[in-house]
Amino acid sequence: MTSAIKGPSQSDVQYDGSNLRVAIVHARWNRQVVDALVAGAITKLKERGVKEHNIVTQSVPGSFELPFAWSRVITGSRVQSGASVTDLLGGLGVSTPNPQSRSTTPAPGSASTLINMPQGPFDAVIAIGVLIKGSTMHFEYICDSVSHGLMKVQLDTGVPVIFGVLTALTEDQALERAGLGREEARSHNHGEDWGIAAVEMGFQGRRWS
């Protein structure tokens, strides 16, 4: 049954993302779901005016690595990898205006993308990962440390993080939350909400600072 009260409500204000820079750091575990979430976030960032060249993506092996990578992206040190949004959407099979420009670009997440990442400052970072419970306690430990790690980096750096980590008990739960579920009514891509949240928090972060 679909709930009428769950999920974010629309803000009264439509925030303008045209001056914002946003990084997306995503894990490569459970890639099909992660890719859909990243694409959803990018779609909404662009809808809210964030310019393509101001959206930067960075992949890491798994969700456990998100807080460390995120802190490095923010502080602008060490992390050297990443792909532009054009590369990423190309890798996802989404058409972009000039496909020729991607012809020499390897698939996102492959080792050879590890060059020339544009670095901070960023107005917001979206950390995206998909954790699916297995038969051991691994899931609980990673969920706990990643959520605490991301909150810590956010408060330490003063740069908002959007918590884009699904902690699903089953594969179906994860698929449903990435818009890939079998029942369309229940299947909403949470990545879209994260894109919208990043614009709001990035925009407000500038006002509050």
Q: List contacts with ligand DLZ (CB under 6 A).
A: 27, 29-30, 61-65, 129-132, 134, 138, 142
Closer CB to ligand DLZ, 22 or 27, in the complex: 27
CA distance 200 to 149: 22
Closer CB to ligand DLZ, 25 or 199, in the complex: 25
Identify the active-site residue in 26, 53, 138, 148. Answer: 138
For ligand DLZ, which residue has the nearest CB? 62
Asked if 148 is an active-site residue, the reply is no
State the nearest-atom distance from the C-beta of 161 to ligand DLZ, in Å: 16
Name 146's Cβ contacts closer than 8 Å, sequence gap at least 6: 63, 64, 66, 67, 129, 131, 165
State the nearest-atom distance from the C-beta of 64 to ligand DLZ, in Å: 3
Cα 148-171-26 angle, rounded to 5 deg? 45
CA distance 35 to 166: 13
Closer CB to ligand DLZ, 20 or 131, in the complex: 131
Place of tokens 């600072």: 209
Structure tokens at 39: 């694409």
State the nearest-atom distance from the C-beta of 138 to ligand DLZ, in Å: 5
Catalytic residues: 138
